[in-house]
Structure 1
Amino acid sequence: MKLRTYRAGDAARLEEIFRAAILQLGSRDYTAEQVAVWSGARVTAERLHEMYSDGRATFVAVDETDTAIAFSDLEADGHVDMLYCHPDHAGRGVASALLAAIESAARQAGMTRLHTEASETARPVFARAGYATVLRRPLEIDGVALHNWKMEKLL
């Protein structure tokens, strides 16, 4: 596994990773109804490409064939918007490596704080990376209640 920056040709694969991670990993912590609305969220390859072409730092973990297996991004205000790992590669330190790259980029940019809204599934990964839980956030997608965790890390 190695890390590299986002490329325009990655978007479709990142959409696949997003959905697979929610459907297979998210189902450990959320109900079938919650997983269905979350995975059906308006995240498309086109939307991901638009987001990741806006200047934010976006890192992609790839395998030996340069196929994306996980991704994460850092917005200019220190917000870590997404962290998703394909289930076939989960539990191998890939997400932790992405968070380390995010932190390094944040420090280089002079940021003093990182923050995110972590799913129940991602919360332990962020906690291991030194993020503190601030509060549990209720949210709703298409009328279905679920939650995530506001977390932050001071640099």
Structure 2
Amino acid sequence: MQLRHLATGAAVLALTASLSSCGFDYATERDYTPGSGANNREGTVDVLSAVVVSAEEGSGTFIASLSNNDASDEQSFTGVSGGQDATVTAADFDPVAIAPGGLVNLADPAADVVLQGDFTAGDFVPLVIDFGNGDRVSMDVPVVPDDFGYWAGMDASGSVATTDTDTEADAS
């Protein structure tokens, strides 16, 4: 009888040691959000699930969710441009206000942040995202096709009129 208790105790001890050996600061303890977009949580505003939705090579629409971590002050998304020597430019758009502690999804309602540059679906584009408080966030953002799944129909680059400067440059 004592032998059975001793064997059971030894088995429990062996299982306990192997199950409790995860330690600290392993992947099971870190944020992980599976998805096709890029995330950046370094600034006052978190940039979540950022993608460029592209229907054709060289143009697309920047889409992300912006979460304001400041519970007392409104923040604003003011610009996006190419980072690390990327030739990406954004068409003019109105700054997007983000309420204190709030979340804004640039896809709903559509903010139509249109980008042009040297990219196509499947690429990663280095972008710099600017906020009204002076924060700048750099991240590599995936370019996803406009004709697939959740992102289907979200590229507004064909519906945004070019500026007079773009039209003059195209005419010459």
Task: Report the TM-score when normalising by structure 1.
Answer: 0.28
Q: Comparing both structures, which one devotes a greater share of its residues to helix?
A: 1
**Larger strand fraction of residues:** 2
Larger Rg over CA atoms = 2
Q: Give TM-score, length-normalised by structure 2.
A: 0.26
